[in-house]
Amino acid sequence: MQIKLNKNGESKWYSMPDSWDEMSIDKYMGTMQYLTDDKSDKHTKLVMMIHYLSDIPEQDLWNMSISDLTKLSGVMSDLLNSKPTEDLKHIIKIDGVKYGFDPKLRDISLGAFVDIEHCIKDGMYKNLHTLLSVLYRPVIKQKGKKYIVEDYEPSEERAEIFKNNLKVSDFNGASVFFYALGTQLLDSMSKYLEMETLRERIKLLKINGDGMRSSTD
């Protein structure tokens, strides 16, 4: 959607996505951070969300008529209330490089799991690009629909590439798939942690010799 603003006798055009195919991760992250912000009042939320979506300067939005702002708010609401595709894109291509959704996510490494957990705890919406850089990695071999991706290594560069190039429609299917798999991953991790705790207790018993008996002596 093209938006024309007149200021001091000059006209300037801005664009505002009206479909998920047009919304970048960067815009989505900024918009959702304000949508879920409990500290800002409703007017600030509205202005900042439209600002992130359209790049219209904040002050210009505060100076805009209520009727014009209401129109923009309607476009934004229609978009946010619509449902993006849930089809998983197994491979996405950016500047000639193929990135594949980890085909062995069920056997995720501890390092990858810890980084995903950190992204979620630290704030899902501000770390979305980093989360995707864990799930999608460069394809090193492909035959038909089957492919192999690089072993996981943290990459800020890949996260920034995703932030600047991916659209919501590119990753939503991955987030749905990951959410569905999340319960299984958490269950596996909890069992792993229980086993690690048991091992630590066994170590303590070995260190104390007759540890259980010595505690009652």
What does residue 162 show for φ and ψ, rounded to 5 degrees? -65, -40
Higher-pLDDT residue of 65 and 188 is 65
Q: Which one has a higher pLDDT value, 179 or 24?
A: 24
Token pair for 29: 């992250």
- pLDDT band at 161, cuts 50/70/90? very high
For 198, 205, 206, 210, the CA distances from 213, given in Å and listed in that order, are 18, 10, 12, 5
What percentage of the chain has pLDDT greater than the value 70? Answer: 80
Whether 185 shows a pLDDT value over 70: the answer reads: no
Residue 25 confidence (pLDDT) above 80? yes
DSSP the chain: -EEEEEETTEEEEEE---SGGG-BHHHHHHHHHHHT-SSS-HHHHHHHHHHHHH---HHHHHTS-HHHHHHHHHHHHHHHHS-------SEEEETTEEEEE-TTGGG--HHHHHHHHHHHHHHTTTSHHHHHHHHEEEEEEEETTEEEEPPP---HHHHHHHHHH-BHHHHHHHHHHHHHHHHHHHHHHHHHHHHHHHHHHHHHHHHTSSHHHHTT-
Is pLDDT above 70 for 47? yes
Edge-to-edge strands of the sheet including 91-94?
91-94, 97-101, 136-143, 146-149
Mean pLDDT value of segment 90-102: 94
Q: What is the pLDDT of residue 54?
A: 86
Is the pLDDT at 108 greater than 80? The verdict is: yes
The per-residue pLDDT for 213 is: 43
> Residue 55 and residue 50: Cα distance in Å, rounded?
8
Q: What is the pLDDT of residue 186?
A: 52
- Look at the chain and count its residues: 217
For range 11-23, the mean pLDDT = 84
Q: Does residue 210 register a pLDDT over 60?
A: no
pLDDT in tens, 118-144: 888 888 888 989 999 999 999 999 999
Res 188: pLDDT: 52
Q: What's the predicted TM-score (pTM) here?
A: 0.73
d(CA 162, CA 132): 8
Distances (CA, A) of 133 to 78, 117, 145, 186: 29, 13, 21, 20
